[in-house]
Copies of this chain bind each other. A is one copy, B any other.
Amino acid sequence: MQSDLNEAYRGRKILVTGGAGFIGLNLVERLVELGADVTIYDYAMSRSAEVMAEQYRDRLRLCQGDIRDEAKVEEAVRGKDILFNLAGKSGAADSNKSSLIDLDVNCRGHLTLLEACRRINPGAAVVFPSSRLVYGRPRQLPVDEDHPLQPESFYAVHKTTVEHYLQVYARQFDLRSAVLRISNPYGPLQGHDERIYGVANKFVQAAVDNQPIRLFGDGTQKRDYLYIDDLVDALLKSGIKASSPPLVMNIGGREVVSLQQLAELIVRLAGTGSIEHVTWPEEFLSVETGNYYGCLQRAENHLAWQPVTSLEDGLGKTIERYRKA
């Protein structure tokens, strides 16, 4: 499959919006290694993006701009083969404090890109990182893609809206796309200046700093954790398999563990840090959706993808990189 990816991406023109963030940078690194011609579009460039652009001068361009800027986005979309639309504001709890901003960035932003596609590049394929949060509190486990969508935060509502946009663009304009309902990604950051992303990385940071990992409540809720290399692999394969109607798939990790088990594993692997149980902060309790793990059969069928990194390996590599940073 590595050779398939090489063939599929060598010389292809790829846009990665939000490409200077955690998932974006990891994706971009793989893309340039595969020989793609990559443009990062982001409202603020990270130091790591600049370093990477120095390193791959002939294959990586940086374009600074807001995802809501119609003219700039149109320019960025022009002539691209595949668009990874990773731009956006993350965080369910945050979105409940600023719903109008979340709407503007996460809906208007994506719609601006899709309108640009329709106008000047309807043949492009779009890959959209949705979230397991579109399901809300699962009715049964594992959750498959036919589970009803019952988003419980503005963040999740707007992910659902963009999924619906992609359905409409497929039906009305035959746009090809792939929707990845991603669980909890974690892994090494690409540099020193990125903000901490997601619960597993936060725990790693605490352990490496020999600080207590703060667990809300009893930490019994079970989740799966998706190592960044596995996620990048799913993104790359989705770019090739995007279709109309959209290919909608759960993308998650191999193992299902409780937050308590996750924290214990991190402390053991790091050899530093500890676990502290604290009362649920209201803002996080209000977006807590309980146990979750997804059925990954559809991604295996359509992408020949499955997560291959064990939690122990993934966390080990993450800890190592945090230590170096």
A103-B108 contact given A157-B164, A157-B168, CB 8 Å threshold: yes
Q: Would A164 and B151 be within 8 Å (CB), given that A111-B99, A112-B100 are in contact?
A: yes
Q: Mark A148-191, 1 if CB is under 8 A from B, else 0.
A: 11111110011011001101100110000000000000000000
Per-residue CB proximity of A71-105 to B under 8 Å, as 1/0?
A: 00000000000000000000000001001100110
Assembled-state Cα–Cα distance A152/B165 (Å): 9
Interchain CB contact under 8 A, A150 and B168: no
Partner of A103, one of B107, B150, B153, B157: B107
For residue A146, which residue of chain B has the nearest CB? B148
**In the bound complex, CA of A108 to CA of B100 (Å):** 7
Residues from chain B with Cβ under 8 Å of A261 in the complex: none
Query: Contacts A150-B167, A161-B160; is A172 near B103 (CB within 8 Å)?
Result: no
- A165 proximity list for chain B (CB < 8 A): 99, 154, 157
Known: A153-B172, A157-B164. 9 other contacts (CB 8 A): A99-B111, A100-B108, A100-B111, A103-B111, A157-B165, A157-B168, A160-B160, A160-B161, A161-B161
A-side interface residues, number (CB < 8 Å): 28
Whether, in the assembled complex, A255 has its beta carbon less than 8 Å from a beta carbon of chain B, the answer is no
User: A168, B151: Cβ atoms under 8 Å?
Assistant: yes
* With A100-B112, A111-B100, A115-B99 as contacts: A167 and B148 at CB distance below 8 Å: no
- Residues on B with beta carbons closer than 8 Å to the beta carbon of A160: 160-161, 164
Q: Which of A151, A152, A154, A168 has the most CB of B within 10 A?
A: A168
Judge whether A286 is part of the interface by a CB distance below 8 angstroms.
yes
Residues of A114-168 whose CB lies within 8 A of B: 115, 148-154, 157-158, 160-161, 164-165, 167-168
Q: How far is the CA of A151 from the CA of B161 in the complex (A)?
A: 10
Q: Which residue of B lies closest to A68 (CB)?
A: B100
Separation in Å of the A276 CB from the closest CB of chain B?
27
Interface residues of A in 166-221 (CB under 8 A from B): 167-168, 171-172
A104→B107 CA distance, assembly (Å):
10
State the CA gap A108–B103 with chains docked (Å). 7
Given A107-B107, A172-B286, also A115-B100 (CB < 8 A)? yes
Q: Is the CB of A168 within 8 A of B149?
A: no
Q: Which chain B residue shows the least CB distance to A118?
A: B99
Beyond A100-B111, A103-B108, A111-B100, is A167–B152 a contact (Cβ under 8 Å)? yes
Q: How far is the CA of A108 from the CA of B108 in the complex (A)?
A: 10
Q: List 8 A-B contacts (CB under 8 A).
A: A96-B168, A96-B172, A99-B111, A99-B115, A100-B115, A152-B168, A158-B161, A161-B161
